[in-house]
């Protein structure tokens, strides 16, 4: 009879431990931000769990005390009929494997579904323990405070990578790449990404526009060209745009076809400064100079945007001049989106 009572008591304590650990595990594995977002969209399960976790540290204090108390009681039950050492071993076996490891594994698989099922039981237990847990939670809040955790830029980048690779994350690889490059591009200088002067395609203001020059400009692959003054290639006096030549007779001196606006930036400034300058001036090509006011290269808005995006802009847009390739690209994105939704449904 005594053995049956002990067995029933152990089953009860282990079951209670499973509730504590399962709930704690599911809460840790479920993003509070994601819960809030789903709750606002009308998800009943998310509303139940989010409402319960609003108590913050009080819930976690109750869970911690519950786990400790359960393990202590299980140990005492084993000690009632076995030596202390054996009781400790049995506690590790029963409470560790059956009450902690297995619930954690199942919570990892089922996530919010586990949490919502345990909320009614857990809320009653937490409510009963509130005379003890509430003062403790306030003491912890006073001691620890509510300061947000600050991460270094490198830590944020690693966190973005982990989130993008996680089955539970909602950040795509493309979005992760964009965020990572956005965080790091401001550290780069204009000098690091500019087109050096020796490879810049330039035009003299005295050059005559004609089929030969037009062909050379088209073959360069650029759409904007710095214009220098006569024989002095150090003095930039304007910018020639290929688009401005559309409809022109394509003859006459370049100085009559160019734009007289010229903007300069220093090679040591960072890319954030360059981007801000592009936005304010609405000009897409800057002449880069050094400390001696010498012309050392050029930088375009595409150069800066490529550093933000982490890839060449032209490579992606080449696909949009062919209707068949546009349709194929759209279909590929739709398949990828459906596959991603299917994967997340299976995970949940």
Average pLDDT over residues 129-144: 82
Q: What is the pLDDT of residue 197?
A: 93
Sheet holding 232-241, edge to edge: 203-204, 224-229, 232-241
Domain boundaries, the chain: 2-144, 153-186, 188-311, 317-347
Helix (H), strand (E), coil (C) string for 157-224: HHHHHHHHHCCCCCCCHHHHHHHHHHHHHHHCEHHHHCEEHHHCCCEECCCECCHHHHHHHHHHCCCE
Nearest to 130 by CA among 57, 27, 51, 47: 57
Q: What are phi and psi of 123, to 5 degrees?
A: -65, -35
CA dist., res. 38 & res. 293, Å (int): 57
Confidence of residue 123 (pLDDT cuts 50, 70, 90): confident
Q: 84-91 and 57-79 are packed helices; what angle lies between their axes, rounded to 10 degrees?
A: 140
Which numeric CATH code is attached to 188-311?
3.10.580.10
Residue at token pair 């393990």: 71
Summarised one tens digit per residue, pLDDT across range 169-210 is: 778 888 888 888 888 888 899 999 999 999 999 999 999 988
Summarised one tens digit per residue, pLDDT across range 274-300 is: 999 999 999 999 999 999 989 999 999
Average pLDDT over residues 53-58: 73
The per-residue pLDDT of the chain, averaged, comes to 79
Average pLDDT over residues 38-65: 79
Average pLDDT over residues 296-325: 70
Q: What is the pLDDT of residue 58?
A: 82
Summarised one tens digit per residue, pLDDT across range 13-47 is: 877 777 777 667 666 666 666 777 778 888 887 78
Hey, CA dihedral for 209, 210, 213, 216, is it positive or negative?
Answer: positive
Q: Would you state the structure tokens that stand for residue 50, as one six-digit string? A: 């989010």
Where are the strands (E) in the chain, listed by range?
A: 195-196, 203-204, 224-229, 232-241, 264-266, 285-289, 295-300
CA dist., res. 61 & res. 16, Å (int): 16
Residue at token pair 């204009």: 190
Residue 243 clears pLDDT 50, i.e. is over it: yes
Q: What is the pLDDT of residue 124?
A: 82
């Amino acid at each position: 009879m005594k053995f049956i009572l002990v067995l029933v008591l152990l089953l009860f304590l282990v079951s209670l431990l499973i509730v504590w650990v399962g709930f704690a595990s599911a809460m840790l594995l479920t993003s509070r931000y994601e819960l809030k977002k789903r709750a606002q969209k009308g998800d009943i399960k998310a509303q139940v769990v989010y409402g319960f976790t609003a108590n913050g540290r009080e819930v976690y204090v109750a869970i911690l005390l519950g786990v400790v108390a359960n393990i202590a009681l299980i140990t005492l039950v084993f000690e009632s009929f076995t030596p202390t050492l054996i009781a400790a071993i049995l506690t590790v076996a029963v409470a560790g494997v059956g009450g902690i490891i297995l619930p954690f594994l199942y919570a990892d698989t089922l996530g919010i579904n586990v949490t919502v099922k345990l909320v009614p039981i857990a809320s009653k237990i937490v409510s009963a323990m509130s005379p003890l847990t509430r003062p403790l939670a306030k003491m912890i809040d006073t001691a620890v405070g509510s300061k947000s955790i600050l991460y270094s830029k490198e830590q944020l980048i690693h966190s973005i990578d982990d989130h993008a690779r996680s089955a539970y994350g909602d950040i795509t690889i493309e979005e992760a790449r964009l965020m990572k490059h956005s965080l790091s591009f401001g550290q780069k200088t204009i000098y690091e990404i500019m087109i050096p002067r020796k490879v810049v395609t330039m035009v003299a203001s005295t050059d005559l526009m004609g089929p030969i020059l037009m062909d050379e400009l088209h073959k360069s692959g650029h759409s904007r060209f710095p214009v220098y003054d006569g024989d002095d290639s150090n003095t930039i006096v304007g910018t020639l745009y290929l688009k401005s030549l559309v409809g022109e007779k394509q003859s006459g001196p370049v100085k009559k076809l160019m734009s007289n606006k010229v903007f300069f930036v220093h090679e040591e400034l960072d890319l954030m400064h360059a981007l801000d300058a592009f936005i304010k001036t609405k000009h897409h090509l800057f002449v880069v100079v050094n400390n001696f006011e010498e012309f050392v290269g050029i930088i375009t808005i595409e150069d800066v945007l490529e550093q933000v995006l982490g890839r060449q802009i032209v490579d992606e847009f080449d696909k949009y001049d062919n209707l068949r390739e546009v349709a194929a690209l759209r279909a590929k994105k739709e398949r990828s989106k459906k596959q991603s939704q299917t994967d997340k449904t299976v995970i949940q």
